[in-house]
């Protein structure tokens, strides 16, 4: 379970790194359409992170405490989510304004917004893996089987939602509205 979560966390880090590394280039050399597309790409990362943390907070982590017989077992990780939530919201809100055409993409601003939350987020992503590795002390639970079953249910539910299937990485650049 920790290994699979490490892959998800690595993808989150790589995607935000790509935004951080390219935001100035796109802002200074990209067309208006390039900038809106890039802002949408950067915004979709916030949606993915939100979905990831929401599923942990509402479903996975409470269930893990219950089946291990230790309510609140994962609270330390859930509590860390609050530490960077507002900073990521500022980042997301700025990107929405760029997508809607109310702001111009400013690469330095994007970089600074990322720099405001990334140290805390990176620490959290590392800490969470450590917490998951330590679950081996609750060996009465087949964590791998449980995790695959729970994630499978969540994916089935999400993919059953039309809005989820069509909205990811999609924005109407002509109207600059979210679907």
User: What is the predicted pLDDT for the residue at 160?
Assistant: 81
CA dist., res. 70 & res. 49, Å (int):
26
Question: Are the beta carbons of 30 and 83 closer than 8 angstroms?
Answer: no
Tell whether the model's pLDDT for residue 162 goes beyond 80: no
Tell whether the model's pLDDT for residue 169 goes beyond 80: no
Which of 16-20, 40-44, 64-68, 112-116 shows the lowest mean pLDDT across its residues?
Answer: 64-68
pLDDT band with cut points at 50, 70 and 90 for residue 139? confident
pLDDT band with cut points at 50, 70 and 90 for residue 171? low
CA dist., res. 167 & res. 122, Å (int):
27
Q: Take residue 20 and report the two structure tokens written for it.
A: 């951080």
pLDDT band with cut points at 50, 70 and 90 for residue 153? confident
Task: Kindly write down the DSSP assignment for every residue of the chain, as one continuous string.
Answer: -HHHHHHHHHHHHHHHHHHHHHHHHHHHHS-HHHHHHHHHHHHHHHHHHHHHHHHIIIIIHHHHHHHHT-TTTTHHHHHHHHHHHHHHHHHHHHHHHHHTTSS---HHHHHHHHHHHHHHHHHHHHHHHHHHHGGGG-TTS-HHHHHHHHHHHHHHHHHT-HHHHHHTT-EETTTTEE-
**Tens digits of residue pLDDT in 114-137:** 999 999 999 999 999 999 999 888
User: What is the predicted pLDDT for the residue at 29?
Assistant: 98
Tell whether the model's pLDDT for residue 167 goes beyond 90: no
What proportion of the chain, given as a percentage, has pLDDT over 70? 91
Number of domains in the chain: 1
**Tens digits of residue pLDDT in 63-113:** 999 989 999 999 999 999 989 999 999 999 999 999 999 999 999 999 999
Which domain range does residue 135 map to? 2-178
């Amino acid at each position: 379970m920790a290994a699979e979560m490490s892959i998800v966390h690595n993808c989150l880090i790589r995607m935000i790194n790509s935004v951080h590394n390219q935001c100035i280039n796109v802002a200074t050399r990209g067309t208006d359409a390039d900038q809106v597309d890039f802002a949408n790409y950067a915004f979709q990362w916030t949606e993915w992170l939100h979905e990831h943390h929401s599923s942990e907070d509402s479903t996975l982590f409470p269930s893990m405490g219950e089946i291990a017989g230790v309510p609140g077992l994962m609270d330390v990780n859930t509590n860390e989510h609050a530490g960077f939530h507002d900073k990521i919201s500022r980042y997301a809100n700025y990107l929405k304004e760029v997508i809607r055409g109310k702001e111009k993409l400013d690469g330095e601003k994007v970089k600074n917004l990322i720099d405001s939350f990334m140290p805390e987020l990176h620490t959290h992503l590392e800490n969470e893996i450590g917490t998951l590795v330590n679950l081996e002390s609750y060996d009465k639970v087949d964590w791998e089987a449980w995790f695959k079953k729970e994630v499978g249910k969540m994916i089935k539910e999400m993919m059953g939602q039309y809005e989820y299937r069509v909205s990811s990485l999609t924005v109407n650049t002509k109207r600059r509205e979210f679907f």
